Chain A
Amino acid sequence: MDYSQFLAMRQEIGLLIVFLLVFLYDTFMPKKALNATAGFTTILFLLFTVASFIWGNIGDVDAFAGMYSTSGVCSMIKNILNVGVLIVLIQSCRWANGELMIMRRGEFYELLLVTLFGMYLMISARHFLLFVIGLESASLPLAAMVAFDKNRYESHEAAIKYMLTAVFSSAVFMMGLSFVYGLSGSLYFHDIALQLGSSFNTTLVVALAFVIAGVGFKLSLVPFHLWTADVYQGAPTSVTSYLSVISKGAAAFAFLVILVQCFGQFYSMVWEWMLYALIIATITIGNLFAIRQKNMKRFLAFSSISQAGYIMLGIVGCNDMGLAAMMYYILVYIFSNLAAFGVIGAIENQTGKVEMTDYNGLSRTNPWLACSMMLAMFSLAGIPPFAGFFSKFFIFTSAINQGSVAIYILVLIALINTIISLYYYLLVVKAMYISPDEPQIANFRSASSERLGLWITVGGIVALGIVSFFYDSIMEAASGSALFAFIG
């Protein structure tokens, strides 16, 4: 065996090293030093992120007989996720150092890194066995993370719900896989595409429906979204933010890879229409339910459901531009959503308040927090000059690039939905800036880690759009990708 193949997995190996160091630190360091676990992990991960940016990209390489593959795009999406995880780590410092977490600090970080490792595998897997390993190790530890607030009843409820849906969706996914295996006799993405040929087969529709449903649970696409709101509400805010951006970003990319690599030739025959239905349902229902929410975390849960629908618009176009737009959208979404969760987390840690009415008059007592929240809302709603506008514009452009009239109508529906979403995002702005009620939250100074997190995310919201460098480099990586070879 050629061990140099492991070099292709350098990002995974780097992450594994980070994980082991954190694990060793947590196990063998004296009790006093454990207070520094958060800082230690964050700095270690920062180093890893930087290293991964510098040495992560080794071009298109397949390893282990094509089971694992990496390319410029894969390492790019991993880097994007790294940046998001880094922000989550910074934002969660205060929570992780809190009283409640004293005995479990290390576990939180270990579980988090394991799930990230699973997502890496999902992204790079080109064989369903590896993919399922990634999928499971990205899902199951998350259930433990969701249950981390062990004194809160909701946290347990959320964990059980997450656990059951994760297991159920895996089962559905496996069911789809067994059909695929029955049809093609292989689990290699490449072989599946070759074996299936381009002949249409009814069983294939069933298989695809199961596969899409399985991944749809992870992405919380409608109608597989029912766990989302409860889990987001019950989980600790740091875990919710991790769940809403990182896990979603990885699943979206993996979804794209599976669809175009295994089933590319059935694009216009089968799954284009499935995606249309899913996108319309996801965006519309996510938006309509978000309007009625009073709890900020539930509210962002439904908003993130509809955002997932927009991310899917990058897949439906099936071209390099769509791939780039999707990755750019994920990047921008990470920053915008984490800014919103950063504010929510800061307020929750200080006062324990998460209802939207608690935010009334926030701009008078905590102008900076209110301003960050407003920018996050504007960015999520797609208001220029903030990054969300650019990512929405590019994802719509890339979808329309496909050219059919149907896609114009799809985009029009998505666009009309942005107006609905603007309504509920503005409700938050209204509570903070316009509502004449007495402020509920007294002026306070948030922890320096929280402030650092907000500075980074707000900086990202402002800069990611206006500075064209980010989109250009993602596009450059995407335009060289060979992912779309089988589209028909």
Chain B
Amino acid sequence: MFSNILIYFVIIPLLMLGGFALCRTDKAVRTVAVVGSMALLALSVWLLVDYIALRQAGETAEMLYTGSWVWFAPLNIHLAVGVDGVSIAMLLLSSIIIFAGSFASWKIDNMRHFFMWLLLLSTGVFGFFISIDMFTMFMFYEVALIPMYLLIGQWGTGRKEYSAMKLTLMLMGGSAFLMLSLIGIYFHSAPEGGQLTWNLLEIAQNDSISRGWQYFLFPMCFVGFGVLGAMFPFHTWSPDGHACAPTAVSMLHAGVLMKLGGYGCFRVAMYLMPTAANDLAWIFLILTGVSVVYGAFSACVQTDLKYINAYSSVSHCGMVLFAILMINTTALTGAIMQMLSHGLMTALFFALIGMIYGRTHTRDIRLMGGLMKIMPFLGVGYVIAGMASLGLPGLSGFVAEMTIFVGSFQHTDMFHRVFTIVACSSIVITAVYILRVVGKLLFGPVQDEHHLSLTDATWWERLSTITLIVSVAAIGCFPNFFEWLIRFTFSPEIFRAIGLN
């Protein structure tokens, strides 16, 4: 079991948890956090390199590094792990954000407990991405949700108790539907008399879920994950939750946790129930189309920096689900790219907002102005994040959205056309709210003279910001590499939905 490299994605955070429990000073906590998150980052980079090497050597299996160990024999529950390009991209994203997040919470109160909860959350995230067994996947999914309650409740700002409760209950509500659909899938996972299984690959191979059951189970599964992916009308937890969360939690939550939703929709709902996905996609296309536009419009009228960004996340995450529902290779590639791109860019946003808020003690854009003169580093960082968000070529947003819309336009019927055009319009609206914020916040006269005495970023803040900016630029400059990385997942015989389309 311990010879499998993927297990270490769960073991390292758990070791870090144990390490924090032993720490007595803040300095020791920081050391453990930095060493651990660097180890995770190194591990995921190494995994990436090794994966590429294996693929180039001609490895064609769907999942690599697979391993499976019996856990609950009577129900055939295994601890099964395996990754393909998509999971590796997500693992890389998570470890980058945890790395940046550790630096962004360099000076938080009650640091030891904060990091313990944060690492429990990360354990869930990593566990989710490496699992290919529905039971363990679901377990890790819920492990990732519950620490949010205490993180927001204890370290948050504003109406934190309300937001924490709302977020937890809505996400758990989603997972209630999810649990039912996963159990339902299990009982139809093999032909009559066959050995039932929770393993995603085996279920896909058996392909034994009848059309009727797919119609019943697919919507529950998609909505279950869709709640976490902030699909309209289940997105309302997201603005409140993000606005009240402490910086690192917003980063991790918007950057990684919301990707769990998109990834789950793709990996479980679409992959196991392609027929229903194909037939029922239109319902969810309408909903996600609404979230794309609605999120963008809502962002235009907000005045709290975090709310603006939270609504923009609703819009961008809606785009991920929108692209997944297009069910073709191009759009799906775009969806994965958008997950990466949005994860990094929104983490960058939240990190910068946290840093600005830490200095000005307000997030209201009407009370701030001319910050570019006072804190040029943070100002430039914010502009870069904004440009990435509105899709400037050379940064990640452009690549992702371009791919998505090219993929969407491959559908020639009226319905898809209309919704693609509607979703496209969000690019323009995004530009409106990004430029509005940048103009008000960074340029123009200084609104408050107290702000003149503020300082620019410290070294740990710079490190956190630069890590994220470099990653955003990397995706923007080398899209081919990432496209190549995830392409193997979409070979037609594996993703049967494409064949159906």
Interface on A for B, CB 8 Å cutoff? Answer: 321, 324, 378, 383-385, 389, 393-394, 396-397, 400-401, 403, 408, 411-412, 415-416, 418-419, 422-423, 426, 429-430, 433-434, 468, 471-472, 475-476, 479
Contacts and interface: CB of A to CB of B under 8 A. Distances in A.
Contact of B154 (A415, A416, A434, A472): A434
Most-contacted residue by chain B among A416, A419, A471 (CB, 10 A):
A419
B71 A468 contact: yes
A403 B187 contact: yes
Contacts of B142: 383-384, 389
Contacts of A416: 173, 176
Contacts of B164: 434
B179 A419 contact: no
Contacts of A384: 139-140, 142-143
B29 to A, nearest CB: 17
Interface stretch (B72-80, B339-347, B451-459): B72-80
11 contacts: A412-B177, A418-B176, A419-B169, A419-B173, A423-B169, A430-B161, A433-B154, A434-B153, A468-B73, A471-B72, A476-B74
Contacts of A389: 139, 142
Contacts of A475: 74
A400 B183 contact: yes
Given A472-B74, A475-B74, A430 B183 contact: no
Contacts of A468: 71-73
Contacts of A426: 149, 165, 168
Majority-rule SS of B interface residues: helix
Contacts of A408: 180, 184, 216
A400 B184 contact: yes
The 3 A-B pairs at the shortest CB distance, nearest first, are namely A415-B176, A434-B153, A475-B74
A325 to B, nearest CB: 10
Contacts of B38: none
Given A415-B176, A422-B168, A430 B74 contact: no
B169 A430 contact: no
B473 to A, nearest CB: 38
B179 A415 contact: yes
Given A393-B179, A403-B187, 10 more contacts: A384-B142, A385-B143, A400-B184, A408-B180, A408-B184, A415-B179, A418-B172, A426-B149, A468-B71, A472-B72
Contacts of B168: 422, 426
Interface string B144-164: 001001100110000011001
B139 A385 contact: yes
B264 to A, nearest CB: 16
Interface residues of B, number: 32
B169 A422 contact: yes
A406 to B, nearest CB: 13
B173 A429 contact: no
A472 B165 contact: no
Contact of B73 (A401, A403, A412, A472): A472
A426 B150 CA distance: 10
Nearest to B79: A468
B153 A430 contact: yes
Contacts of B350: none
A28 B139 CA distance: 55
A434 B150 CA distance: 8
B232 interface: no
Nearest to A415: B176
A205 B59 CA distance: 64
Nearest to A418: B176
A378 B168 CA distance: 13
Contacts of A415: 176-177, 179-180
B135 interface: yes
B71 A412 contact: no
B186 interface: yes
B239 to A, nearest CB: 20
B180 A412 contact: yes
A433 B74 CA distance: 38
A398 to B, nearest CB: 9
Nearest to B186: A397
Contacts of A434: 150, 153-154, 160-161, 164
A384 B179 CA distance: 13
B156 to A, nearest CB: 9
Nearest to B161: A434
B153 A401 contact: no
A479 B74 contact: yes
B180 A324 contact: no
Most-contacted residue by chain A among B73, B75, B177, B186 (CB, 10 A):
B75
Given A324-B74, A472-B73, A429 B179 contact: no
A378 B160 CA distance: 20
Given A385-B143, A472-B72, A472-B73, A401 B173 contact: no
A430 B160 CA distance: 11
Contacts of B176: 412, 415-416, 418-419
Contacts of B179: 393, 396, 415
Contacts of B154: 433-434
Most-contacted residue by chain A among B177, B183, B184 (CB, 10 A):
B183
B73 A400 contact: no
Contacts of B135: 393
A30 to B, nearest CB: 48
Contacts of B75: 321, 394, 397
Contacts of A423: 165, 169
Contacts of A403: 187
Nearest to A466: B71
Most-contacted residue by chain B among A385, A394, A400 (CB, 10 A):
A385
Contacts of A472: 72-74
Interface in B71-107: 71-75
Contacts of B161: 430, 434
A409 to B, nearest CB: 10
Contacts of A430: 153, 161, 165
Interface string B113-151: 000000000000000000000010001101100100110
Contacts of A412: 176-177, 180
Given A324-B74, A419-B173, A468-B71, A401 B187 contact: yes
Given A385-B139, A389-B139, A422 B172 contact: yes
B153 A433 contact: yes
Most-contacted residue by chain A among B143, B168, B177, B180 (CB, 10 A):
B180
Interface string B349-374: 00000000000000000000000000
A426 B148 CA distance: 12
A133 to B, nearest CB: 35
A472 B160 CA distance: 42
Nearest to B155: A434
A433 B180 contact: no
Nearest to A396: B183
A484 B154 CA distance: 50
B217 to A, nearest CB: 9
B180 A378 contact: no
B172 A419 contact: yes
Contacts of B140: 384
